[in-house]
Amino acid sequence: KDPLLLRAARGEAVERIPVWMMRQAGRHMQEYRDLIKKYPTFRERSEIHEVSTEISLQPYRRYGTDGVILFSDILTPLPGMGVDFKIEEKTGPKLVPMRTWESVNAMHTIDSEKACPFVGQTLRDLKKEVGSNATVLGFVGCPYTLATYMVEGGSSREYLEIKKMMFTEPELLHAMLAKIADSIGDYGIYQIESGAQVIQVFDSWAGHLSPKDYDIFAAPYQKKVIQKIKSSHPEVPIIIYINKSGALLERMSQSGADIISLDWTVMIEEARKRIGNDIGIQGNLDPAALFAPNEVIKERTEEILRACGGRNHVMNLGHGIEATTSEEKAEFFINTVKNFRF
């Protein structure tokens, strides 16, 4: 029998609503913080497959989550495309800014097995470890969001450099986005063929675009990635997530994804009216709610579960779990969902 989350993601009737948490593998867990002492850099932890497998399994073993997501980063495939990066523990990712035709022309299509063999091995190990008890999730970054890191040279607040390129050299940005889309589609396929049963695509920073610019620079490349994955594996559910996406729900529903992962700024009832009943919903408890008393966590969680009605729903947070969340609160949230019945 296929695992619960996979069946729910397909839209099948299920015995209870499945649950996992974005960023569940990582800093909020003491086990993870202990590993940092031995493996001090993020790339060590994500690119040594035995370590990434162990980290991926920590929340599954601790909480019994229904999803086990690959411990990695959306930037992981970039070196395989000719774009190197480093991640500094306190300041985040750093890249040499790419703002010329020369830098874009130097990019090449990824050979995922050659560039990211550790990703494939981790996914194979996870699938073997959890069997049908949980669903193995892979993930990729969408082209616009990856381009923000490449053009800005790292994280950004205002995204001015990529927006300057958008308005002054749109052909250059389109060329970059097209190259990214080709490789990321292949990378998603590689994850599936290594064991991922569901793929989540993150266009995290597309919510900073105006609707018109979203339609020009984000949506077409989301669709290219999703269509490429679906052309090889139409049976694999795809989830799309965008931070601060309340204004974009209708557009997200046209991406080709099977499930929209909502942030916490939209009520379930409103989302359902806007996207219809044929597409799934993931989410959408505010991660800050996990700092509340248990009775508030229970109340807020069960409100969402009732609003979704038990069909086409994967319970999750509206964004990644905060690093200072206690494991006891995370466990209470997971158990609240697992114990809920209509």
Model pLDDT for residues 116-146, shown as the tens digit of each residue: 999 999 999 999 999 999 999 999 999 999 9
pLDDT averaged over every residue in the chain = 97
For residue 172, the model assigns a pLDDT of 98
* Contact status, residue 190 vs residue 116, Cβ threshold 8 Å: yes
Please give the Cα distance from 65 to 25 (Å, whole number). 11
Q: Provide the whole-model pTM.
A: 0.97
- Percentage, residues of the chain above pLDDT 90: 97
* Integer Cα distance of 300 and 114 in angstroms: 45
pLDDT at residue 91 in the model: 84
pLDDT digits (tens, 9 = 90+) for 42-79: 999 999 999 999 999 999 999 999 999 999 999 999 99
Instruction: Check which CATH number belongs to the domain holding 16 and give it.
Output: 3.20.20.210
Residue-wise pLDDT for 236-261, tens only, equals 999 999 999 999 999 999 999 999 99
Where do the H-state alpha helices sit in 66-142? 101-105, 112-115, 117-130
Q: Extract the tokens encoding 125.
A: 């190990």
pLDDT of residue 88: 83
CB atoms within 10 A of CB 152: 22
Distance, in Å, from the CA atom of 43 to the CA atom of 246, rounded to the nearest integer, reads 33
Task: Convert the pLDDT of each residue in 142-175 to its tens digit.
Answer: 999 999 999 999 999 899 999 999 999 999 999 9
Please count the helices (runs of H) and the strands (runs of E) in the chain: 16, 9
pLDDT digits (tens, 9 = 90+) for 318-342: 999 999 999 999 999 999 999 999 8
Q: Supply the DSSP symbol for 86.
A: E
| Tokens matching residue 4 | 């619960």
| Domains held by the chain: number | 1
Burial class (CB in 10 A: 0-12, 13-18, 19+), 18: buried
- Strand pairing report for 135-141 and 313-314: unpaired
- Give every CB contact of residue 205 below 8 A, 6+ residues apart in sequence: 144, 145, 148, 156, 159, 243
Amino acid 90: pLDDT: 79
Q: According to DSSP H, which parts of the chain are helical? A: 4-9, 30-38, 42-47, 49-63, 101-105, 112-115, 117-130, 143-152, 160-168, 170-194, 211-213, 219-232, 249-252, 268-275, 294-308, 327-339
The residue range of the domain holding 168 is: 4-339
